[in-house]
């Protein structure tokens, strides 16, 4: 069973990697960012609350985030494995994840650290475009769609995430460095941390993951 956490700065390629891996591993892709964006679109009270933080580049409070993940793990599809993308992001969330997994009798196999130089991140994120319908991720230069601004997979118009502006990205990086990077040591101590070079293309990232034989 493959049960992994993808850990990495915003723009390191967690979402892109997860989208490819979930198909080849046939396990659910659990992205707290995607779940929050869905809640925002649905205008739910939780979505409105989360959006206050997301638009400023700040982390959504732990109690809300942990609640969302706890609920997601009550579904039985996670028994066959999972890819957690963007969770945990704080030590408190990592401890809560341990509890959620123990309670559901599931083991976390590996935490994949997507290692990337901060200088590359701003360029990657400001050029990112996503499909609001199917979640496909593009980059205007690195991974352009076949037809400008149209999703290859479902023909929807692509959008730029509201938090993908340079100003907000700087805040997100700040949150990563302060609140999330301590998780590297947290999982290194548990001896389940593996590292890939995330400055490479999506294909090369997949090759590195396959070479790990998880």
Residue 22's binding partner out of Zn ion, ligand ADP, none, with CB under 5 to 8 Å set by partner kind: none
Instruction: Give the residue with the Cβ less far from ligand ADP, 147 or 197.
Output: 197
Residue 173 contact among ligand ADP, Zn ion, none, beta carbon within 5 to 8 Å by kind:
none
Helices (H), strands (E): how many in the chain? 9, 7
Q: Work out which of 153, 170, 188, 190 binds Zn ion, going by CB under 5 A.
A: 153
Least separation in angstroms between residue 59's CB and ligand ADP is 4
What residues numbered 124-143 form the site for Zn ion, per CB under 5 A?
131, 133-134, 136
Residues labelled catalytic: 14, 89, 128, 161, 172
Asked if residue 88 has a cis previous peptide bond (ω within 30° of 0), the answer is yes
Minimal distance in Å, beta carbon 187 to Zn ion? Answer: 33
CA 212 vs CA 43, 120, 183, 185: distances in Å = 41, 25, 20, 20
Do the Cβ atoms of 7 and 198 come closer than 8 Å?
no
CA angle (130, 77, 63) in 5-degree steps: 70
Q: From the list ligand ADP, Zn ion, none, which binds 151 (C-beta under 5 to 8 Å, kind-based)?
A: Zn ion
Residue 46 C-alpha from the chain's centroid: 19
Residue 10: strand pairing partners? none
Minimum CB–partner distance for residue 28 and ligand ADP (Å): 16
Residue 153 beta carbon to Zn ion: minimum distance, rounded to whole angstroms: 5
- Tokens, residue 177: 């460095």
Structure tokens at 61: 């409070």
Report the interface residues with ligand ADP, using CB under 6 A: 10-11, 14, 32-33, 36, 53-54, 57-60, 65, 86-87, 89, 93, 163, 172
């Amino acid at each position: 069973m493959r049960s992994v956490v993808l850990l990495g700065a915003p723009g390191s390629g967690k979402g892109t990697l997860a989208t490819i891996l979930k198909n080849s591993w046939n396990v659910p892709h659990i992205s707290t960012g995607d779940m929050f964006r869905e809640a925002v679109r649905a205008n739910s009270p939780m979505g409105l609350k989360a959006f206050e933080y997301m638009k400023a580049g700040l982390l959504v409070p732990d109690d809300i985030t942990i609640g969302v993940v706890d609920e997601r793990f009550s579904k039985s599809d996670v028994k066959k494995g999972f890819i957690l993308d963007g969770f945990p992001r704080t030590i408190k969330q990592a401890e809560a994840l341990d509890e959620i997994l123990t309670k559901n009798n599931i083991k976390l196999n590996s935490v994949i650290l997507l290692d990337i130089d901060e200088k590359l991140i701003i360029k990657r994120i400001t050029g990112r475009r996503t499909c609001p319908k199917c979640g496909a991720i593009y980059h205007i230069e690195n991974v352009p769609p076949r037809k400008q601004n149209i999703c290859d997979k479902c023909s929807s118009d692509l959008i730029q995430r509201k938090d993908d502006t340079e100003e907000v990205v700087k805040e997100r990086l700040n949150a990563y460095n302060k609140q999330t990077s301590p998780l590297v040591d947290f999982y290194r101590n548990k001896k389940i941390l593996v590292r890939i070079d995330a400055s490479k293309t999506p294909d090369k990232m997949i090759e590195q993951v396959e070479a790990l034989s998880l």
